Each structure stands twice: as C-alpha cells, then as structure tokens.
Amino acid sequence: MKHILIAALTAALFATNAAAQDIQSRIIRFGYGLNEDSNQGRAVKHFAEQVDKLSGGKLKVRGFGAAALGSDVQMQGALIGGAQEMMVGSTATLVGTVKEFAVWDVPFLFANEKEADAVLDGPAARKILDRLEDQGLVGLVYWENGFRNLTNSRHKIEKADDLKGIKLRVMQNPVYLDTFNAAGANAIPMPFSELFTALETGAIDGQENPFTTILSSKFFEVQKYLTISNHVYSPWVVLVSKPWWDKLSDDERKILQEAAVASRTFERDDTRAGSVKALEELKAAGMEVSTMPAEEVAKLREIAAPITAKVVETIGEPLWNDVQAELSKVREAK
C-alpha cells in the first residue's frame, strides 16, 4: 500500500509540474532502422517513456522501426523538410551534410568504450552536433551502435589479405568505401533496409556491423563467418527536425533533451550487455568466429593511414587535434 501511495504521489507531482509548464499535446514520430526488439528499439521505447513522464503525458513519442519511415538518408531528408519529427541513425550517413562527422569513421580511432564515451560526450563532439542546425537538423545526443565487425559467406577472414575480392556492403559513406577498397574488397554502398535480401540472394558476400545488429537482423541465417576486427567504433545520433524544433517551447525542448540524455545512459548499458550476449548467441547459432590477430590489425591500420590523412584534411586539423587531445586525457587517466 505504501509503495502504491508513493507511486501515485510521484505521478501527481510530475503531472502538476507538467501542467505548470508550457507544453502542448503533440505526437512525435521517431524513426529508426533496426527491428523493434533491437537495442535501438528498446532505447527508443525508453526515450518515449521518459518523455511521457516528464511531460505529464502531453508529449507522445511513437516509434517506427525496421526502416518503416525510410532509410537513414531518407529520414534525414524528411526531418529537414519538417515531414517527420525525430529519428536515430548512423553518423556515417551525415557526412554529406556535415563533413566533420567523418572523424567518427576513422578506422581504429577508439580502443574501447571508455574512450568513446569521454570524447562523444565532450566539447569537440558537441561542436559537430551544433553544426547540424544550419542544415535543418538538431543533434541531441550520441548513442552507441558499437564496434563494427565483419561477416561473410565465403571464407574466414583472419588476415588483411583475406578481404581481397569480397563483395562487402558498407554504409553510404566515402571513408568506409575507400578503406575497404584499399584493402582489396569490393565495397558496395547500400541502405541497411536492403542488406538482408542482398546477403540472402548472394548479390553481396558480406557486411560489417556490431554484434547486436548482426543478431537482431538475423544475418547469421545468411552468413557463416564472423571476424572480430573492431575496425570502427560506430556511433548513432538522435536527431530532431529543426523546423519542428523551432516551434517548440523552451519547456518542451528541455524535456526532449533530458529524455535524450537518460536514453543515452540506458542505451549504452543495454548495448554493452547485449553485445556480450549477442556474440555467444551468434556462436550458438552456428557462426564460425575468428579474431583478427594484432599484426593483421596493424596491416589494416597501415592500409587505412592515407584515408585517415584525407579525413583530417577534410575536417581540418583543429578538430582532429581537439579529438586527439580529449583521447590523450582519457588514456593518461588510466
């Protein structure tokens, strides 16, 4: 009885606070690419619950998973045009909109999640998000997609040379294309929504994604070999339509920002726990798992060095130096 009373009083407090704020009743369409039962889907649900609570039920977030509202690129266009309110997607597909996002595509930039968190929650990453506003988007927070790893249906990839000739799906992003083409693969840009069918029909041999995405998208049904390469740490970014954002009150914006930060913590914890579990489930599903040796990773770093240099030239040395300075702080604190 005591717990019920406390819960009722808490709900009443939130309702009272919401009533005192400038909040209108709104439906917020939130699109994402993965399935509803993925880490992405669970985080969108958590975000929706936080928004509902903080707004006293006035702001309702409706999630649309499995690319129901289109690919990342299509949803970004819908947000810019004001036809959709929110989405979460890869930073890699934003490079054509804000070139500085290419910094997160640099191979082997982060060694672990601690480094990624410190930098992505820091001032350099925030500056990149702020540049979206001139392009019709608002960036709230970074979520974690995770370290990307390779799968394919042809053979084990345990050496850099094993990539040669592999038809590999990559995101529609020049750094990914250039890196894998330089390694000898045939890199093919393709929207995520088309990927499973392309793998199933043999139009492509393989792809690269974090363990959780490989599992939730059931790629193990059409891919035999998994290589742990951790070649790129892949962030997601929560985006809002700026034309719609500009119509919101300060109170409404604050609610969305607070809910986004809460969802970031939830999503990272969920993704990391899920990543460990996903790898075990992929093994149990029959995938043959290999780990790329350190000396082969070093070869890939060497292959990628000219691409990294090109990224630095594109984004500018000041931003690159800021990111490296933040990384140094984390590494020195160990």
Q: What tens digit of pLDDT does each residue of 8-53 get? A: 555 555 555 555 689 999 999 999 999 999 999 999 999 999 999 9
Residue 3 has pLDDT above 60, yes or no: no
Average pLDDT over residues 218-229: 98
Q: What does pLDDT average to over the chain?
A: 94
Is 306 within the bounds of a domain?
Answer: yes
The predicted structure's pLDDT at residue 131: 98
Average pLDDT over residues 314-320: 97
- 220 membership: H or E segment, kind and range: none
Find, among 6, 58, 66, the residue nearest to 32 by Cα. 66
Range of the domain at 36: 25-98+107-145+234-276
The predicted structure's pLDDT at residue 8: 55
Is 265 within the bounds of a domain?
Answer: yes
Distance of alpha carbon 131 from alpha carbon 133, whole angstroms: 5
Model confidence pLDDT, tens digit, residues 74-108: 999 999 999 999 999 999 999 999 999 999 999 99
Q: Does 255 lie in the same domain as 132?
A: yes
Is 17 within the bounds of a domain?
Answer: no
Find, among 97, 51, 110, the residue nearest to 237 by Cα. 97
Q: Does 128 lie in the same domain as 55?
A: yes
Provide the CATH number for the domain around residue 77: 3.40.190.170
**Cβ contact 84:31 at 8 Å:** yes
The predicted structure's pLDDT at residue 14: 53
First vs last C-alpha separation in the chain:
48
Is 8 within the bounds of a domain?
Answer: no
Q: Does 217 lie in the same domain as 166?
A: yes
Q: Does 239 lie in the same domain as 130?
A: yes
**What pTM was estimated for this model as a whole?**
0.87
Is 38 within the bounds of a domain?
Answer: yes
Residue 185, C-beta contacts closer than 8 angstroms, at least 6 positions apart: 163, 164, 165, 166, 167, 168
Is 9 within the bounds of a domain?
Answer: no
Query: Which residues partner with 187 through β-bridges?
Result: 168
The predicted structure's pLDDT at residue 271: 94
Residue 6 has pLDDT above 80, yes or no: no
Q: Does 208 lie in the same domain as 265?
A: no
Q: Does 315 lie in the same domain as 180?
A: yes
Q: Please give the DSSP secondary-structure letter assigned to residue 155.
A: S
Q: Does 134 lie in the same domain as 81?
A: yes
Query: Which residues partner with 64 through β-bridges?
Result: 31
Q: Does 224 lie in the same domain as 122?
A: no
Distance of alpha carbon 289 from alpha carbon 287, whole angstroms: 6
Sign of CA dihedral 295, 297, 303, 307: negative
Q: Does 242 lie in the same domain as 190?
A: no
Distance of alpha carbon 106 from alpha carbon 101, whole angstroms: 10
Is 13 within the bounds of a domain?
Answer: no
**Cβ contact 143:236 at 8 Å:** yes
Q: Does 37 lie in the same domain as 118?
A: yes
Number of domains in the chain: 2
Is 219 within the bounds of a domain?
Answer: yes
Tally of residues, the chain: 334
Max Cα distance, the chain (Å): 66
